[in-house]
Amino acid sequence: DGGITQSPKYLFRKEGQNVTLSCEQNLNHDAMYWYRQDPGQGLRLIYYSQIVNDFQKGDIAEGYSVSREKKESFPLTVTSAQKNPTAFYLCASSPAGLNTEAFFGQGTRLTVV
Amino acid sequence: QKEVEQDPGPLSVPEGAIVSLNCTYSNSAFQYFMWYRQYSRKGPELLMYTYSSGNKEDGRFTAQVDKSSKYISLFIRDSQPSDSATYLCAMRQNTGGFKTIFGAGTRLFVKA
């Protein structure tokens, strides 16, 4: 089945640690996105990538980093510079020509302990 | 003022009711209008995708866009308990990059 797989589902981070969230898609989609969702707020864009080896900052990129070395993979690293990382993180993808996020993964809930 | 405003609810209706969910927006450059359904602790699922003004129907769901009023709606006919979820509206401009603006979502409960 085609889709987007995010892992892990739950992640705990200690203060000062970097953690990496995985996002893999087998839909052959060109564009991939990372969003953060906090209670009572809309999804906020962290980074997006339209093609391999290229990505752009979203509205809240500070404290995060990404890479796009393969079309199917778009991992997100939450660095120690991100002061409030506890949130629900969502990865999405879309094919060329569709002006929206077509599919979302099931999310990773990150908690700082 | 937020670019997209959506009543958080919760909205509670009996099974079989017609549900109306709405969003208002301030940016007249928005051209693409979407509705997503999100179950608890899951990722959003794209329900409706429309371009510019008008209506679009898909089964029990109808999306309406009124660009003159900067107002979009999602109607759900014959609502079912399985429709209980949070509904997110979203919008995007025709130019200027790949940025989608999401509403905060309306929680819907359909009682059996």
pLDDT digits (tens, 9 = 90+) for B24-47: 999 999 999 999 999 999 999 999
Residues of chain A positioned with their CB less than 8 A from the CB of B92: 99-100
pLDDT of residue B45: 96
Tell me which residue of B84, B61, B86 sits closest to B7, measured CA to CA.
B86
* Residues in chain A with pLDDT values less than 70: 1
End-to-end CA distance of chain A: 35
Average pLDDT, chain B: 94
Could you give the dihedral angle defined by the CA atoms of residues A83, A92, B3 and B17, in that order, rounded to the nearest 10 degrees? -120
Burial class (CB in 10 A: 0-12, 13-18, 19+), B85: buried
pLDDT of residue A15: 86
Nearest to B34 among A40, A59, A100 (CB): A100
Interface touch A100/B100, C-beta < 8 Å: yes
Tens-place pLDDT, residues B52-71: 888 999 999 999 999 999 99
Nearest to A104 among B8, B43, B105 (CB): B43
- According to DSSP, the residues that pair with B38 across neighbouring strands are B86
Q: Using CA atoms, how far apart are residues B80 and B111, in angstroms rounded to an integer?
A: 8
Q: Amino acid letter at A85? A: P
A98 in B contact zone (CB under 8 Å): yes
